[in-house]
Structure 1
């Protein structure tokens, strides 16, 4: 009797080929999104960088091409803070189907005052959550047209200690930047979990996976000039932090695995192996508050009201 074939262990440095696939990375021109794009480009896939800044997108593409010979990478103008522009942005992709999207782009503010998008939404909630919510509405037909597409939502470890205030989603009554950021990322993660529940209810072929990068620091991130330049002083100063945290190149790995690994399933949460802060990507238990379907459902309804859109989940 022949032995049962086993799936080889996941190796972040030997990714499977994905030559015929098309992947969209929002915010793929910088930070973790750049490294998601760089790593996925090495699989032979066509990688599209969603960026609101064409010059930064060009710099990112040049960096990827310099490191990945033959990389098939291009960019599309994408401004998640401008909800009315997103349908046109998706049309400009010019593809018949999309094998995965990584919802990575995000705005993080460290100090007051509270700012709003042109649509009148608090900037971080409006961009990080509502922008991706609306983008998914227009991407869903392309994802549904693929054999087994993945929608990967990049959350944040900062969201683990936060809770959604459904009565003050836009921090109008009590604005604290770091808390508002954590809650905007938590809203994204709730969206990813709730979307999976709704996709399964309609028998869709699309799977929704939630990931987070752990503790990813610029000072532990290798240089990719001009996208990112790490000075010697920054590298030496960050040495103690490397015991618990990691660079953004490593923070990208849970998302890359969620896109490529056939063993990953919708509804799962993936993050770094060591305390959820650093190390190889692994599946982890869904955080208790993320498993609250009542909060997720109410946030979904509120998002529909705020954007004026029903997501229109389409059966696969």
Structure 2
């Protein structure tokens, strides 16, 4: 579909300036999260990399500084698989407002056995969805303090073919790693859209958008040593796939646009232009099953019960 919020002047290679703005990228030490952070740093914004491995995050920050002159980038420890640590993470940001958070971090398991978080939740659902759900609650006062903050949730094209089993969100009855991963990303995407509905109902200035990177492969991703090193062999083997998919640097484009484009709006879904798999970012129609507000509301209530928090219902918002 053509986007009513697209602007002909938008270019992934000429991003708008964003000095004095502060962005948090979860999982900013590798993959799409790294390139999201690197690209946001070119705008003059301060970018915080949230990572459960501070050493890897510091290496990523050093890589960004080596490529972006004057980059304002720093690191905070973030473990989405341990909900008890998230208050400390929010406090360690040491900021009085947050202009955007990109919910990018995630766990993807390929083989059994089923694993759990520190809180006893299935690892992918607990990290990818519940961790970000709870983190958003902690960040909401900082987001509400910014003039027009955004929550950008990075889903997955794999979620398009999945459906949630609300009676088995933890994959206790049936555990297939790839299916559980796709469903965890689908849960994230439901959350991002439901969050925006609830923020609108509160009259909040915070907006929530959902994006997906399409098909993003390491073999098509440019090297960023020591974060990612692409060998000549990997480059040659991945070349045929470039007809359909792209590298993780391009997979970051929808998230970057959702953060920066003033024409983007809460409740929208953004992804790659060509078949949803590669190309410049565009707004696309919200997938049919993802538009089911009843499922989203039930997932929200279940998530509140599992985490003990509710991201949108805050006295600060109610007073706006």
Please tell me the TM-score bracket, short chain as reference: over 0.9
The whole-number CA distance in structure 2 between the counterparts of 1:118 and 1:88 is 16
Q: What is the CA deviation profile of residues 206-253 of structure 1, one whole-angstrom value per residue up to 9, with x for unaligned ones?
A: 000000000000000000000000000000001110000000000000
Deviation of 1:7 after TM superposition, in Å, equals 5.8
Which residue matches 2:96? 96
**Do structure 1's residue 166 and structure 2's residue 166 form an aligned pair?**
yes
Which residue matches 2:139? 139
Which residue matches 1:298? 298
**Do structure 1's residue 245 and structure 2's residue 256 form an aligned pair?**
no
**What is the TM-score normalised by the length of structure 1?**
0.97
- 2:79 aligns to what SS in structure 1? coil
Q: What is the CA deviation profile of residues 91-128 of structure 1, one whole-angstrom value per residue up to 9, with x for unaligned ones?
A: 11000000000000000000000000110000000000
8 Å CA contact 1:140, 1:313 repeated in 2: no
Stretches of 4+ aligned residues off by more than 6 angstroms: none
**What is the TM-score normalised by the length of structure 2?**
0.96
8 Å CA contact 2:107, 2:123 repeated in 1: yes
The whole-number CA distance in structure 1 between the counterparts of 2:312 and 2:296 is 17
- 1:19 aligns to what SS in structure 2? coil
Which residue matches 1:206? 206
Which residue matches 1:10? 10
CA RMSD of aligned residues (A): 1.0
Which residue matches 2:31? 31
The whole-number CA distance in structure 2 between the counterparts of 1:78 and 1:291 is 30
Which residue matches 1:193? 193
Superposition pairs of residues 141-290 of structure 1, within 5 angstroms: 141-290=141-290
The whole-number CA distance in structure 1 between the counterparts of 2:205 and 2:55 is 36
8 Å CA contact 2:198, 2:312 repeated in 1: no
Deviation of 1:9 after TM superposition, in Å, equals 1.5
Q: What is the CA deviation profile of residues 50-84 of structure 1, one whole-angstrom value per residue up to 9, with x for unaligned ones?
A: 00101101110010000001000000000000001
| Structure 2: segments with no counterpart, 5+ residues | 1-5
Distance 1:293 1:18, change over 3 A: same
| Structure 1: segments with no counterpart, 5+ residues | 1-5
Deviation of 1:310 after TM superposition, in Å, equals 2.7
- 2:24 aligns to what SS in structure 1? strand
